[in-house]
């Protein structure tokens, strides 16, 4: 039941992010190009497991997305708002597909396996 809720939570975040992005005048091509760019943070695994998990988790947490969205709204920085919405859509898509935050042990050890 808990995993199902995590997947549904991801779907909700993805849909909300896409909806709010659609309410702006931001470019959809930018959205599509950048949607999977947060996965570049997996390159930290080329250093070692610990650094890989740290890099990956830094960008794949809701805190990063919310910080960008708030910065965009409070400081009227359109690019920050757009990037925050794209990042939250990416995180939602990841959670929907069962990809979670990483533990330092192995790439496939995520918070989804612990629930």
Res 100: pLDDT: 80
At 53, is the secondary structure helix, strand, or coil?
A: helix
Q: List the chain domain ranges.
A: 2-96
Report yes or no on whether pTM surpasses 0.85. Answer: yes
d(CA 88, CA 86): 5
Q: pLDDT tens digit string along 55-82?
A: 999 999 999 999 999 999 999 999 999 9
Q: Which of 101, 97, 92 is nearest to 13 (CA)?
A: 92
Kindly state the average pLDDT of the residues 2-21: 94
d(CA 51, CA 68): 23
Res 109: pLDDT: 67
């Amino acid at each position: 039941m808990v995993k199902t809720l995590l997947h549904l939570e991801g779907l909700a975040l993805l849909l909300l992010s896409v909806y709010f992005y659609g309410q702006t005048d931001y470019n959809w091509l930018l959205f599509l190009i950048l949607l999977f760019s947060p996965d570049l943070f997996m390159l930290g695994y080329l250093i070692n497991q610990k650094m890989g998990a740290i890099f990956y988790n830094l960008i794949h947490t809701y805190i990063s997305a919310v910080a960008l969205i708030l910065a965009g709204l409070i400081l009227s920085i359109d690019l920050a708002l757009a990037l925050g919405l794209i990042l939250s859509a990416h995180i939602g898509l990841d959670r929907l597909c069962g990809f979670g935050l990483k533990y330092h042990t192995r790439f496939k050890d995520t918070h989804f396996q612990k629930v």
